Amino acid sequence: MDHDKLLNIAVEMGCQLMASGAEIYRVEESMERLLLAYDLPTAEVFAIPNCIIASVNTPEGHPITRMRRIASHGTDIELLERCNDLCRHLCAELPPLEEAEALVMGLSQCPRRHAPWQVLVGHAIAAAFFAPLFGGGVLDTLGALLGGLGVGICLLYGKRLIGSNTFFRTVICSAIASLLSLFLVRIGLGRSLDTVTISVLMLLVPGVALTNAMREIMAGDVVSGLSRTADAILVAAAIALGSAVGLGIAQLF
């Protein structure tokens, strides 16, 4: 058996899992299962949020190790579910390596994705329906809808302009959110500035980072858990910084 190829397949699978926002234990366990399923005596996998290291011993006693770095990524549940299903399928069926490789390489190509306009609508709907939860009326809902649309556009298309630094991106987006809400409320779309701003800011809150951090700690991966906790706190601080811009300007006029 070609152990190099097997290791490459497993690492690619882990990489896709990580890119879809899976927990560390899921990445480690899936890769380990895949490697052991193909009759390797041992398989060691270590992962942290942006790096995977996998090492195997061939039956002849020859060690092979591969390390792969993963760029920052978002959350893509459809990809996660497909990876999970494929891993289960591979471990159960054990197809020839060429076939397995084709399947794993095809993972990122054709999963169902929402079109950009659908994602924008998602942002707008989410922001709009947060307004009643924070005590807003119909007018506030309308304002939050437009604000959410604006922030959605920033998040989706602003990546090239703002850069990929999460902290900085969140500062800019929340500043835009607070300024946009201020503007909307001043022209009469929305009664309460606080409600509209909070509803729009809810699109940026580190709910994902918080949930992930908690799940990592629950699974016993303290290093990854702490790094994600730090991520959540940083994002929260960035939101606070950005919204201060809008608040400061609101005080001036």
Partner 1 sequence: MTAFFLTYLLPCACAFLACVGFTLVFNIHGVGKLICGVGGALGWLVYLLWGKTIFAAFLAAAAIGVYSELMARVRRCPVTAYLLVALLPLVPGGGIYYAMRHCVAGENEAFLDTLLHTFGMAAALAVGAMMASSLFRTIYTHLYHRGRRR
Residues of the shown chain interacting with partner 1 in the complex, contacts defined by CB under 8 A: 21-23, 26, 75-81, 84, 111-114, 118-119, 121-130, 132-134, 194, 197-198, 201-202, 204-208, 210-215, 217-218, 232, 236, 239-241, 243-244, 247-248, 251
**CB nearer partner 1, residue 102 or residue 226:** 226
3-state helix, strand, coil in the chain (%, to 5): 70, 10, 25
Least distance (Å) between residue 142 CB and partner 1? 14
Q: Please tell me the distance from the alpha carbon of residue 207 to that of residue 136, in angstroms, as a whole number.
A: 22
22 or 180: CB nearest partner 1: 22
CB of 136 to partner 1, least distance (A): 10
10 Å Cβ neighbour count for 250? 16
- The gap between the terminal CA atoms of the chain, to the nearest Å, is 73
Q: How far is the CB of 122 from partner 1 (least distance, A)?
A: 3
3-class DSSP assignment, residue 19: helix
Cα torsion through 202, 208, 214, 215, rounded to 10: 150
Q: Which is nearer to partner 1, 78 or 99 (CB)?
A: 78
> Least CB distance from residue 80 to partner 1, whole Å?
6
User: Per this entry, what is the length of the chain?
Assistant: 253
- For residue 64, the cross-strand partners are 56
Which residue, 51 or 133, has its beta carbon nearer to partner 1?
A: 133
**Least distance to partner 1 from the beta carbon of 70, Å?**
17
